[in-house]
Chain A
């Protein structure tokens, strides 16, 4: 007996739930051979607003977890991807990558998560400090997560670049609203399913799919986003810089014209964790 094809309705992972765009719009995704694959949610600035609300709700709880626990959870996210590596590789291959390249990207993504899982309970020792002062005080510098971080993933390396950008932010207790690759959104959709089973509290990572043109201006101006990391072209960089100046947010952008090698060791660093931290310095009198 012939079966009906069971096609999937991809939905994005926002606030711990799988949602469609509030606009009810979708855009068709084709595989590398040009065949229709699925309709992907075309999220809007209102979806972005809702995602920021979800991230705001999740933020304090996530930041309050012990560093060790955050590390465990990020490690578990790596486990979840590892266990479904084949499926993820197929999702990446959909965009035209060879099977070997796709498998390599998945492996590199898992390794990247393990790398930042390791940093979770160690960055504070390196970035925080007891500062020498010429008075009878202890002077401490400690780090705090900034809050909600916007991530603009580049078109290429749809999984690895996305994860490389958001992993350092959540390592220190930030929450993230990320816009996935427009041309290859499916790995991000699948990643959402893995996030949902990874013990990561809902709302810590929120993934949107859709057109950059519709959401980049809102990423720029939304005052609740404390920093933006990711890739942007010249026009976007200008819009983001103007919006960020208005809303006093931090920008860490790479040029889409000259993207880094996401596989290189230089694509993972303590600096990336540091870039979404605030530093707080406290004076405390030394007792007699």
Chain B
């Protein structure tokens, strides 16, 4: 239950940024799955999706060796003959950044993203969170995935939430920032839209907003994705600043990925159909994308074990 003061704060914010027609969003996204994408369009979509993957391992049991093999897979997801592009980035815990940098080298197009700011809860003192960001950047991270202070947001302390994001932006320096809203804890589409706006107002052009940590029960859905990309569109039309988007968690199949690309194409247009504006936070997805590409090439359905160590096992 929200206190009266925070309820008023939310009311003012909703008046400002607008609310979401939840039924309309659900109906809209249900249609995306009906698009027929075959043959060359499918191959293009699959390869584009591969190039957008943030290949992720965020486990307590991560080791430098595991991260190194993940990096190898990021550099070359499959047999070069298949023409699969490299993924956009690897995404690891801060302690693993230096190992990822060692495995990838400095002369590579694959970027290193690191979750920081007491991922996934964000429940640590601000000073600690900022120190974590700085340490990750110093170790060679190109991108930082931060979590917002959901406690502050839900209690209506929007200023506090934005100040923290600002502080992280500053700590990032040249590194790209991705702001994780953790949509499953925001409860409503209205809140997701409002949080998106609060974040977009304090981050820089080219920074990301991201759905989830992947550590809660509900992750990226087409509905959440739609609310956020519509917020991005509205913000772009207002200000001319283009913010990038990253759905994360729960996207496991090539078919899902293509449906997300349809959503982008039909909401934000071709300008967002590249890996500087759109990413997938995923691990298992990459193998399924490669598997479908192989199927398109050979015409035969492929067994999952024909592909190098599937990313679930990282």
With both chains docked as a complex, state the minimum distance between the C-beta of A145 and any C-beta of chain B, in angstroms.
Answer: 15
Tell me, yes or no, whether A212 is within 8 Å of chain B by CB.
Answer: no
Does the CB pair A224–B304 fall under 8 Å? yes
With both chains docked as a complex, state the minimum distance between the C-beta of B254 and any C-beta of chain A, in angstroms.
Answer: 12
Does the CB pair A218–B301 fall under 8 Å? yes
Does the CB pair B303–A224 fall under 8 Å? yes
List residues of A (1-58) whose CB comes within 8 Å of B's CBs. 49, 52, 56
Does the CB pair A221–B301 fall under 8 Å? yes
With both chains docked as a complex, state the minimum distance between the C-beta of B60 and any C-beta of chain A, in angstroms.
Answer: 24
CB-defined contacts of A49 to chain B, threshold 8 Å: 301
CB-defined contacts of B302 to chain A, threshold 8 Å: 223-224
**0 or 1 for each of A174-212: is its CB under 8 Å from B? (1 = yes):** 000000000000000000000000000000000000000
List residues of B (274-309) whose CB comes within 8 Å of A's CBs. 298-304, 306
Does the CB pair A247–B300 fall under 8 Å? yes
A52–B304 Cα distance when bound, in Å, is 11
Does the CB pair A246–B301 fall under 8 Å? no
Does the CB pair A52–B300 fall under 8 Å? no
Tell me, yes or no, whether A222 is within 8 Å of chain B by CB.
Answer: yes
List residues of A (225-274) whose CB comes within 8 Å of B's CBs. 243, 246-247
With both chains docked as a complex, state the minimum distance between the C-beta of A60 and any C-beta of chain B, in angstroms.
Answer: 12
22 contacts between A and B (CB under 8 A): A49-B301, A52-B301, A56-B304, A218-B301, A221-B298, A221-B299, A221-B300, A221-B301, A222-B300, A222-B301, A223-B300, A223-B301, A223-B302, A223-B303, A223-B306, A224-B301, A224-B302, A224-B303, A224-B304, A243-B300, A246-B300, A247-B300
A222–B298 Cα distance when bound, in Å, is 11
- When C-beta atoms are compared, the residue in chain B nearest to A246 turns out to be B300
A109–B59 Cα distance when bound, in Å, is 50
Interface Cβ pair total, 8 Å cutoff: 22
A49–B253 Cα distance when bound, in Å, is 14
Main secondary structure of the interface of A (DSSP, over half): helix
CB-defined contacts of B304 to chain A, threshold 8 Å: 56, 224
CB-defined contacts of A223 to chain B, threshold 8 Å: 300-303, 306
- When C-beta atoms are compared, the residue in chain B nearest to A46 turns out to be B301
CB-defined contacts of A246 to chain B, threshold 8 Å: 300
- When C-beta atoms are compared, the residue in chain A nearest to B294 turns out to be A223
A247–B301 Cα distance when bound, in Å, is 10
A49–B299 Cα distance when bound, in Å, is 12
The 5 closest A-B pairs by CB, nearest first: A224-B303, A221-B300, A222-B301, A223-B303, A49-B301
CB-defined contacts of B300 to chain A, threshold 8 Å: 221-223, 243, 246-247
A223–B300 Cα distance when bound, in Å, is 7
A172–B304 Cα distance when bound, in Å, is 22
- When C-beta atoms are compared, the residue in chain B nearest to A221 turns out to be B300
With both chains docked as a complex, state the minimum distance between the C-beta of A50 and any C-beta of chain B, in angstroms.
Answer: 10
Among B298, B303, B306, the one with the most A-chain Cβ atoms within 10 Å of its Cβ is B303
With both chains docked as a complex, state the minimum distance between the C-beta of B302 and any C-beta of chain A, in angstroms.
Answer: 5
With both chains docked as a complex, state the minimum distance between the C-beta of A175 and any C-beta of chain B, in angstroms.
Answer: 13
- When C-beta atoms are compared, the residue in chain A nearest to B303 turns out to be A224
With both chains docked as a complex, state the minimum distance between the C-beta of B245 and any C-beta of chain A, in angstroms.
Answer: 29
CB-defined contacts of A56 to chain B, threshold 8 Å: 304
A224–B299 Cα distance when bound, in Å, is 14
With both chains docked as a complex, state the minimum distance between the C-beta of A211 and any C-beta of chain B, in angstroms.
Answer: 18
**0 or 1 for each of B174-188: is its CB under 8 Å from A? (1 = yes):** 000000000000000
CB-defined contacts of A243 to chain B, threshold 8 Å: 300
With both chains docked as a complex, state the minimum distance between the C-beta of A252 and any C-beta of chain B, in angstroms.
Answer: 20
A52–B305 Cα distance when bound, in Å, is 14
- When C-beta atoms are compared, the residue in chain A nearest to B305 turns out to be A224
A67–B301 Cα distance when bound, in Å, is 31
- When C-beta atoms are compared, the residue in chain A nearest to B298 turns out to be A221
With both chains docked as a complex, state the minimum distance between the C-beta of A240 and any C-beta of chain B, in angstroms.
Answer: 13
Among B298, B300, B304, B306, the one with the most A-chain Cβ atoms within 10 Å of its Cβ is B300
CB-defined contacts of B301 to chain A, threshold 8 Å: 49, 52, 218, 221-224
A199–B13 Cα distance when bound, in Å, is 55
With both chains docked as a complex, state the minimum distance between the C-beta of A190 and any C-beta of chain B, in angstroms.
Answer: 29
CB-defined contacts of B303 to chain A, threshold 8 Å: 223-224
- When C-beta atoms are compared, the residue in chain B nearest to A218 turns out to be B301
CB-defined contacts of A222 to chain B, threshold 8 Å: 300-301
List residues of B (146-172) whose CB comes within 8 Å of A's CBs. none
CB-defined contacts of A218 to chain B, threshold 8 Å: 301
CB-defined contacts of B299 to chain A, threshold 8 Å: 221
- When C-beta atoms are compared, the residue in chain B nearest to A223 turns out to be B303
- When C-beta atoms are compared, the residue in chain B nearest to A243 turns out to be B300
Identify 11 new A-B residue pairs, CB closer than 8 A, beyond the known A218-B301, A223-B300, A243-B300. A49-B301, A221-B298, A221-B299, A221-B300, A221-B301, A222-B301, A223-B301, A223-B302, A224-B301, A224-B303, A247-B300
CB-defined contacts of B298 to chain A, threshold 8 Å: 221
Among B298, B301, B302, B306, the one with the most A-chain Cβ atoms within 10 Å of its Cβ is B301
